[in-house]
Amino acid sequence: MGSEMTNRRSTLKSLALGAVSFLAIAAGGAVSAQAENKELKIGFVGVTSGPAAAWGTSNVRSMQTRADWLNETGGVKIGEHTYNISIVNFDDQKDPKRAIAGMEKMAQEGIHYVVGPNVDDGAAAVRPVAESKGIIYFPYAFPKALYAPPASNAVLGMIANYQSGPAIYKYLKENKGVKKVAFIAANESDPLSQRDSGVAAAKELGLEVVAEKDTYQNDTRDFTPVLTPIVQLKPDLLVLSGVAPANAPLLIRAARELGYEGLISAETAQDATVLQEGAGELANGFISVGGASTPEIRTPVMEEFIERYTKKFGEYNDESNTKVYALEYIIETLKANPKAIDNVDEFKKTMDTFSAPNPYAKDSTLKYVGATSFGQKRQLSVPMVVTEFKDGEFKTLFVGEVD
Amino acid sequence: MEQVIANGLYLGAQYALIALGLTLIFALMNVLNFAHGQMYVLGGFVTYTIYGQLKLPFVVALVCSGVTLAVIGGLMEKFLFRPVVRRSKREESTMLLAAATAFFLDAVMLLLFGEKQRGVPKIISGVFVSDRLILPYDRILVGVLAILMIAAFMFFMQYSKPGRAMRALAQDRVAAQLMGVKVERYSMIGFALGAMLAGVVGGLLVSITGVNSGIGGPISIKAFLMVMIGGAGVVGGAIAGGFILGMMESVGLTVLREYGDITYLVIFALLMIFLSIRPHGLMGKPWG
């Protein structure tokens, strides 16, 4: 009996030692495999908490998903070296002061390429830091001064509302007979500036603007009082300027429940699940600038990206169809000119002539645009997909491009 | 104008219900619960999960929201606020604790429920339409339920034994203790009740306004505003504050719309003037 127990103990000890040795070897092997690749840090400074968390979270998660995918498949070869991509994240809480601190942190870590910030004031605030510390940054904010000379370090990561707005209004005027337009915006710098440029574009097209000063607090939960006077004006089109994804279904629902029967549109990307949960069938017909890779135009790479994102985070965010592009542009541009890895002037030189296949959308190329809007190429070319929401999904109305 | 008044009354009912829990906790423990908005949000997420995701009846979800928050509130009082109130001689300590709790709950909810706005199917479909008034049936139901809950709460506080004990505590903590009121027990019940109210109203309103993990802070600010108007620690004051704020919002957003978003500017300016005249709010001291 005693020797049986001793034998059992010995066997258990041997098994335990074997397991520990195996783990040690495996860990050592993993470390040495990773050590072969250098590390390329890409930063993110933007909002990942509070009411606008969805904007920045979709950025960070897109970057993390893509970085993991690239690292898993051996890393990225830039020049003579192969790099693992590491995402350094900083939540600026939509506060310009914190955005500056975030950009300073990126500089301290030797990072030259940063995605974000997500809003106008944050993007404007970090400009001096980015320019003095040699950082190229990719804001999701629309002020032209960030991208037009003498500024040169900011690259707009999406389609601006002053680029998509006129195209949408023209389409609706010609195809849906829209004549009267009402605008409503949150009382914050981004939505207000988007509203102003939207109003100007609508007037230029000869549309009658019946409401252009109506605003709401961004933390409004019940929009019925805000929309009551606007609905009474009976516009053909209600534009939700710069509307946050969290507010869009509430505004749509309130307008429809008040009896509004006209069209509703926004020039910002929205999320289909959020619209469906928040407004259901009342959101049918809602027009927005959708993710840059809707089902009709997406490639198998985009399908796999969505699958990986969903597996990693439990749920996909349609905004990531656009947000996935920034990291891709950074990596592909560095591949095109490896000297740019620690020299943003080289990066800027490459931007003028850069071109690569677009892995996410059919019949499309990655290239820098913006010459018409900013006088220099300081914008990522992403497909401008104008969509209509229908029964839980976005359907493509038309696809455009910015030059 | 009828529409504006109806909007104001509906907003007022929900605001009053939000403010009740906050003012109750303040009255009993002199704690400014900065996490009240986060408790509301958590209640919303519980209802979202049970009604929206698991497809159980709305009433079940609402009860679960209330019970969950009551338990969380009770535990917070026992293990966080009670020791701090006992040991600290500075009132700011409880305020800092409440603020820390708010940040903690914000972060936990962001991790658990994600960054997206969440919504649930309507509890009743259809809209009441007359010549001068348009009101969806679900809003009418929520408004009526809010008023019934406020009435039930008032009844409970007025006529039940725990209600009387809590009122006595709010009036004079030492005297209540000398009269045999178990201070710790009723403080915990009061905190749990306040948290439960936040959870129930969060669950109730998720059917109208949805919920997302970032709205706790703004909800707390609005609740404080109502409590300041009515008088901190006074239940009647919180109800009055809620209805006044709801009506001011509704009227302001209609009358002042031509001037841009100045409604809240006007509300805050009026509040400053009002508080300089009546620093204790409309109803002054805690109830008696």
Taking the C-alpha atoms of residue B42 and residue A390, their distance in angstroms, rounded to an integer, is 30
Check residues A85 and B225 and name the one with the higher pLDDT: A85
The model's confidence at residue A325, banded by pLDDT at 50, 70 and 90, is: very high
Query: Cβ A250–B209 below 8 Å, yes or no?
Result: yes
Residue A345 has a pLDDT of 96
Query: Cβ A187–B209 below 8 Å, yes or no?
Result: no
Mutate one of B109, B116, B123 to test the A interface: name it (highest A CB count within 10 A).
B116
Residue A17 has a pLDDT of 54
Q: What is the DSSP string of A75-130?
A: -EEETTEEEEEEEEEEE-TT-HHHHHHHHHHHHHTT--EEE---SHHHHHHHHHHH
Taking the C-alpha atoms of residue B73 and residue A88, their distance in angstroms, rounded to an integer, is 36
Residue B288 has a pLDDT of 41
State whether A149 and A178 are in the same domain.
no
Number of CB pairs < 8 Å for A and B? Answer: 113
- Inter-residue contact A358 to A365 (CB < 8 Å): yes
CATH of the domain at A174: 3.40.50.2300
| Interface list for B 111-130 with A (CB within 8 A) | 114-122, 127, 129
Kindly provide the b/e burial profile for residues B6-41, where b requires at least 16 CB atoms within 10 angstroms of the residue's own CB.
bbbebbbbbbbbbbbbbbbbbbbbebbbbbbbbbbb
Considering only CB atoms, A259 lies closest to which of B134, B212, B253, namely: B134
Q: Would you say residue A227 lies in a domain?
A: yes
Q: Which residues of B touch A313 (CB under 8 A)?
A: 114
Domain encompassing residue A176: 161-268
Is residue B110 less than 8 Å (CB to CB) from chain A? yes
Query: Cβ B115–A48 below 8 Å, yes or no?
Result: yes
Burial class (CB within 10 angstroms; exposed 0-12, middle 13-18, buried 19+) of B245: buried
State whether A58 and A144 are in the same domain.
yes
Query: Cβ B115–A53 below 8 Å, yes or no?
Result: yes
State whether A300 and A377 are in the same domain.
yes
Tokens (6 digits) for A402: 């910015």
State whether A222 and A303 are in the same domain.
no
State whether A242 and A340 are in the same domain.
no
Query: Cβ B52–A277 below 8 Å, yes or no?
Result: yes
| Domain chopping of chain B, boundaries | 2-277
Each residue's pLDDT, cut to its tens digit, for chain B (288 residues) gives 788 899 899 889 888 988 988 888 888 878 889 999 999 999 999 999 999 999 999 999 999 999 999 999 999 999 999 999 888 888 788 889 999 999 999 989 988 988 888 999 888 888 888 878 888 898 899 889 988 998 999 899 889 999 999 888 888 888 888 988 888 899 899 999 999 999 999 999 999 889 988 889 989 998 998 888 988 778 888 889 999 999 998 898 888 887 877 888 898 899 999 989 988 888 866 444
Distances (CA, A) of A178 to A149, A175, A206: 37, 8, 11
In the block, tokens 């003498």 appear at A150
**What helix, strand, coil percent values describe chain B, rounded to 5?**
75, 5, 20
Taking the C-alpha atoms of residue B228 and residue A321, their distance in angstroms, rounded to an integer, is 45
State whether A299 and A259 are in the same domain.
no
Query: Cβ A257–B136 below 8 Å, yes or no?
Result: yes
Q: What is the dihedral of CA A340, A342, A344, A347, to 10 degrees?
A: 10
Q: Would you say residue A398 lies in a domain?
A: no
Fold of B2-277: ABC transporter involved in vitamin B12 uptake, BtuC (1.10.3470)
Tokens (6 digits) for A357: 């296949």
State whether A180 and A142 are in the same domain.
no
Considering only CB atoms, B257 lies closest to which of A214, A221, A246, namely: A214
Residue A9 has a pLDDT of 53
Q: Would you say residue A392 lies in a domain?
A: no
The model's confidence at residue A221, banded by pLDDT at 50, 70 and 90, is: confident
pLDDT at A255 over 60: yes
Chain A residue nearest residue B115, CA to CA: A54
The model's confidence at residue A370, banded by pLDDT at 50, 70 and 90, is: very high
State whether A131 and A48 are in the same domain.
yes
State whether A148 and A165 are in the same domain.
no
Mutate one of B2, B139, B261 to test the A interface: name it (highest A CB count within 10 A).
B261
Q: Would you say residue A289 lies in a domain?
A: no
Residue A2 has a pLDDT of 45
Query: Cβ A277–B120 below 8 Å, yes or no?
Result: yes
Query: Cβ B260–A187 below 8 Å, yes or no?
Result: yes
- Inter-residue contact B53 to B211 (CB < 8 Å): no
- Tell me, what's the ipTM? 0.83
Mutate one of A48, A187, A257 to test the B interface: name it (highest B CB count within 10 A).
A257
Burial class (CB within 10 angstroms; exposed 0-12, middle 13-18, buried 19+) of A16: exposed
Q: Which residues of B touch A51 (CB under 8 A)?
A: 212, 214-215, 218
Whole-number percent of chain A with pLDDT over 90: 62
State whether A50 and A152 are in the same domain.
yes
Domain count, chain A: 2
State whether A131 and A169 are in the same domain.
no
